[in-house]
């Protein structure tokens, strides 16, 4: 990894932090990410249900897991909406139409 040319000069301490990134964005399948997280919350909810049968479980922890599962399904809906919207525009899922793509630098 290279440092920006102005990164060590006195008086320009933020120069390296504010410079555009030269890293390429990571290609992620958001469906897989959201299904994994939703599955984790669902497993925790089942574990809490089993523990709740044997002993008492604080209601807040059950509510957090249920909210995680619900938000996971909402996230899946958002991914479907975003992909169909991008498909209609003719863009790919990694290109949001911004110059340089997602996280790219202008001129890529």
pTM of the model: 0.61
Contact 38, 76 (CB under 8 A): yes
Q: What is the pLDDT of residue 5?
A: 55
Would you kindly state where each structural domain of the chain is located, as residue ranges?
Answer: 28-87
Cβ-proximal residues to 50 (8 Å cutoff; 6+ apart), any chain: none
Q: What is the pLDDT of residue 44?
A: 96
- Per-residue tokens: 55: 């002993």
Q: Which of 61, 62, 68 is nearest to 34 (CA)?
A: 68
Q: Which band of pLDDT confidence, cut at 50, 70 and 90, is reported for residue 59?
A: confident
Q: Which band of pLDDT confidence, cut at 50, 70 and 90, is reported for residue 98?
A: very low
Task: Write out pLDDT tens, residues 1-30.
Answer: 555 555 555 555 666 788 888 888 888 899
């Amino acid at each position: 990894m290279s440092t920006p040319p102005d990164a060590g000069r006195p008086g320009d301490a933020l120069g390296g932090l504010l410079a555009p990134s030269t890293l390429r964005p990571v290609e992620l399948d958001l469906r897989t990410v959201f299904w994994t997280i939703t599955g984790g919350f669902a497993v925790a909810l089942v574990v809490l249900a089993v523990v709740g049968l044997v002993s008492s479980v604080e209601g807040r922890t059950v509510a957090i897991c249920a909210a995680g599962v619900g938000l996971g399904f909402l996230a899946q809906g958002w991914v479907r909406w975003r992909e169909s919207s991008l498909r209609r525009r003719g863009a790919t899922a990694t290109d949001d139409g911004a110059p340089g793509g997602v996280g790219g630098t202008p001129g890529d």
